[in-house]
Amino acid sequence: MTHVLSSLEEIRTNIRHTDRQLLQLVKERLAFAEEVATIKKSRGLPTINLDAEDATMTNLTNYATEMGVSPFFAKRLGELLIEETVRVEDASRPRQSKDQMLKEIFELTQKLTGKGVKVTRFEIGEPNFPAPPEAIKALSSTFRKKKIVGYGPAAGLPQLREALADELNRQHNAKIDPDQVLVTPGARFGIFGTITSFVSSLERVVIPQPAWPAYEECVSFINGRTVALNTQFENNWEIDIASLETELKKGVKVLVINSPSNPTGKVIPKKKFSEIVELAAKYNTMILSDEVYDRYVRVPAASILETGYDNFVYINSFSKQFSLTGWRIAYLVTSKQNALRIRRVIQTAMTCVPEFIQNAAIVAIEHARRVAQRNVNAILRKVDLTCRELEKIDVSFHKPEGAFYVFPKANKPKFDSVKFARQLLEEHHVSVSPGQSFGDYPTFFRLAVSLPESQIPSAIKGIGKAINEWQ
Ligand SMILES: Cc1ncc(COP(=O)(O)O)c(C=O)c1O
C-alpha cells in the first residue's frame, strides 16, 4: 500500500514537472509573439492575421491526430494560444478602434465649439430635423399615467411589436409574425445582441468595407474575427461575388450588409442583393441586414425581408427615420427561435426599453410617418446641393443613392484623411470623418449632410482650399 501511494506521488510529481515544461514552452512561444509584433509594427501590418491563425489551428489538429491527442482538445488549446498571442501583441502595440477614431473628431469639435469657435459640422451622423411633435406629446402624456412606469416585457410591448410587424408586412409584402420582432435600445444594441448571440470567440464575420465601425467593434468585443471584404470606388462600391464566395467557403458565421450604406450611400442593386443572399444560403451563413437608412433612398432598395431567406436578422431603427437618435429605440426581425436568443441579451443587459418611449414610438409609426418623410426628403435635397458643390473642388465621388452621406476621395496621392480631418477642423473650422474610420480608405473622408443648407457651400469651399493646400 505504501509502495502504491509513493509511486502515485511520483507520477504526480512527473505531471507537475510536465506542466512546468508546458508553461516554459508557452513562454517561449509568447516571446516569438513579441518578435512578430515588433516586425509587424515596423512594417505597419495589422495584429490579427487570419491566415496565420488558420495555419496554427490546422497544424495543431494535424499534430493531435498524429499523436493520438483529442483534436477537440487541440482546437481549444489553439484558441487559447491565439488569444494569448493577440493579447501579448496588443500589449506591445495597442490597437486603435475605428469607432474611437470617429469619436476623436467629434470630441475635438466639441472642444472647439466649447471655446466659442463656430464649426461647420459634417461629422454628425444624425438627422437634424425635429422629433415628431406627436411622439413628444405621446411621451409626456404617458408620464401622467402611473400604471406604465414599471418593468415591461424584454421583447418589447406587444402593441408596438404588432404595429411594426403590420407596417413591415405592408412595406415589404412579407408575413412577419409579431413574435419575430424585438424592440431594442437602438440599432447598435440589436447588432450587439445578434453578434453576441450567434458568434463565438475566433468565429468569423464578413463585413464589406467601407463600413460603419460599430459592426467591427461588436465582433472584437466577443473576440470574434472580422473579415474585411474591401469594395472599391473604381468599381462603384460593388461587392465582388467571387471574393465573397472565397470568404464564405472558409466558414463564416455572419455576413453583414448595410444598404443604403454608411458611409458611401451605396444601395446594393436588387440583382446583386439576390446573388448575395443565394451565396449566403449556399454556405448557410446568417445575414445581418442593417436597413436603418431605408427611408433615405433615390433608387429602389432591396430588403432581406423580401427574399424569403430564413437565416437572417433585419435591423432598423427610429433614430434616422424619425430623428429620434437620443431616445434609443429600434427594432429587429428574425426567426422566432433566434428572437428568443437575442431577447435573452436584452433581458440580461437592460430588462427592456422604457415603456413610455415605446408608447411614443407607436404614435410615431401611426401618425408621424408623412411628416418624417418630408423631413427625410429635405435632407436628400441637401445631399444634392452638397454633391453640386463637391463637383467644384478637387475630389472624386459617386453620388449617393441613399442615406445622407457622401464619401469623396481627395485627388491627391499620399493623402492621409486622419491628419486632414484634424487640420481642416483646426484651420478651416469644418469637421469631417476620416476614411480610415470605415476601413482602409485613407484618401477618402465622409460628409454627413445633416446641417443647415446655408452652411454647405462655404464649408465645401473650405474643404476644397484645404485639399489644394495639402502636401
Ligand atoms: C448603418 C448604421 N446602423 C445603425 C446605426 C445606429 O442606429 P441607432 O441610433 O438606432 O443605434 C447607425 C448610426 O450611425 C448607422 O450608421
Shortest-distance atom of ligand 1 to CA 190? 11
- Which atom of ligand 1 is least distant from the CA of 125? 14
Which of 184, 194, 315, 317 gets mutated to test ligand 1 (max ligand atoms within 8 A of its CB)? 317
| Best mutation site among 124, 183, 212, 447 for ligand 1 pocket (most ligand atoms within 8 Å of CB) | 212
User: Separation of 429 CA from ligand 1 center, angstroms?
Assistant: 26
Atom of ligand 1 nearest to the CA of 188: 11
Residue 95 clears pLDDT 80, i.e. is over it: no
Flag whether pLDDT at 145 surpasses 90.
no
- Comparing CA positions, the residue from 452, 455, 434, 456 lying closest to residue 443 is 434
Asked, as a colleague might, if the bond just before 185 is cis with ω within 30 of 0, I would say no
What residues flank ligand 1, with Cβ below 6 Å?
Answer: 125, 186-188, 212, 258, 262, 290, 292, 317, 319, 325, 330
Read off the pLDDT of residues 362-381 as tens digits, 9 standing for 90 and up. Answer: 999 998 888 899 999 999 99
Confidence grade of residue 92 (pLDDT, cut at 50, 70, 90):
confident
Q: Is 265:406 a contact under the CB 8 Å cutoff?
A: yes
Average pLDDT, the chain: 94
**CA torsion, ordered 410, 416, 418, 421, to nearest 10 deg:** -40
DSSP per position, 241-306: HHHHHHHHHT--SEEEEESS-TTT-----HHHHHHHHHHHHHTTPEEEEE-TTTTSBSS----GGG
**pLDDT of residue 2 exceeding 80:** no
For residue 210, is the peptide bond before it cis, meaning its omega torsion is within 30 degrees of 0?
yes
- What is the residue-wise DSSP string for 66-133? HHT--HHHHHHHHHHHHHHHHHHHHHHSPPPPHHHHHHHHHHHHHHHHHTT---EE----S--SPPPH
Beta-carbon contacts of residue 385 (< 8 Å; ≥ 6 apart): 453, 456, 457
Backbone angles phi, psi at 23, to 5 degrees: -65, -40
Distances (CA, A) of 423 to 7, 120, 174, 466: 73, 14, 49, 8
Distance CA 326, CA 300 (A): 28
DSSP code per residue over 139-163: HHHHHH-GGGSS---TT--HHHHHH
CATH superfamily of 98-129+371-468: Aspartate Aminotransferase, domain 1 (3.90.1150.10)
At 194-233, the pLDDT tens digits run 999 999 999 999 999 999 999 999 999 999 999 999 999 9
Q: Could you tell me the distance, in angstroms and rounded to a whole number, from the CA of residue 271 to the centre of ligand 1?
A: 25
Using alpha carbons, select from 171, 198, 215, 151 the residue that is nearest to residue 337: 198
Asked whether the beta carbons of 260 and 297 are under 8 A apart, the reply is yes
Structure confidence by residue, pLDDT tens digits, 425-441: 999 999 999 999 999 99
For residue 258, give the ligand 1 atom closest to its CA. 1
Q: Does domain 22-92 have CATH number 1.20.59.10?
A: yes
Please identify, by atom number, the ligand 1 atom nearest to the C-alpha of residue 184. 10
Q: 433 C-alpha vs ligand 1 centroid, how far in Å?
A: 15
User: Mutation test of ligand 1: which of 261, 267, 294, 319 has the most ligand atoms closer than 8 Å to its C-beta?
Assistant: 319
The whole-number pLDDT of residue 147 equals 59
Average confidence (pLDDT) over 444-469: 95
pLDDT band at 6 (very low <50, low <70, confident <90, very high): confident
Residue of 256, 211, 208, 120 whose CA lies nearest to 407 = 211
Q: What is the distance, to the nearest Å, from the Cα of residue 339 to the centroid of all Cα atoms in its chain?
A: 20
Residue 187 Cα, ligand 1 centroid: separation in angstroms?
Answer: 6
What's the pTM? Answer: 0.92
Cα of 63 vs centre of ligand 1, distance in Å, is: 45
Give dist(CA 78, CA 58) in Å, integer: 9
Please identify, by atom number, the ligand 1 atom nearest to the C-alpha of residue 325: 9
Query: Which atom of ligand 1 lies nearest, measured to the CA of 318?
Result: 10
62, 67, 71, 75 alpha-carbon torsion, rounded to 10°: -70
Cell numbers given for 213: 465601425
How far apart CA 290 and CA 304 sit, in angstroms, is 9
Task: Find the helix packing angle between 336-350 and 187-198, rounded to 10°.
Answer: 110
Nearest partner of 469 among 433, 427, 435, judged by Cα: 427
Cβ neighbours for 448, distance < 8 A, ≥ 6 positions apart: 122, 123, 124, 125, 126, 404, 405, 433
Name which of 128-137, 232-241, 293-302, 427-436 the model is least confident about.
128-137
Question: What is residue 213's DSSP assignment?
Answer: T
Say how far apart CA 330 and CA 317 lie, in whole Å.
Answer: 4
pLDDT over 90 (residue 94): no
How many angstroms is it from 456 CA to the middle of ligand 1?
23
Ligand 1 centre to CA of 292 (Å) is 7
* Cα 291 to ligand 1 centroid, rounded to whole Å: 9
The structural domains of the chain, with segments of one domain joined by +, span 22-92, 98-129+371-468, 150-365
Closest C-alpha residue for ligand 1 atom 13: 125
Separation of CA 188 and ligand 1 centre (Å): 6
- CATH for 150-365? 3.40.640.10
C-alpha 261/C-alpha 275 separation (Å) is: 18
pLDDT at 242: 98
Where does the pLDDT of residue 423 fall: very low under 50, low under 70, confident under 90, or very high at 90 and above?
very high
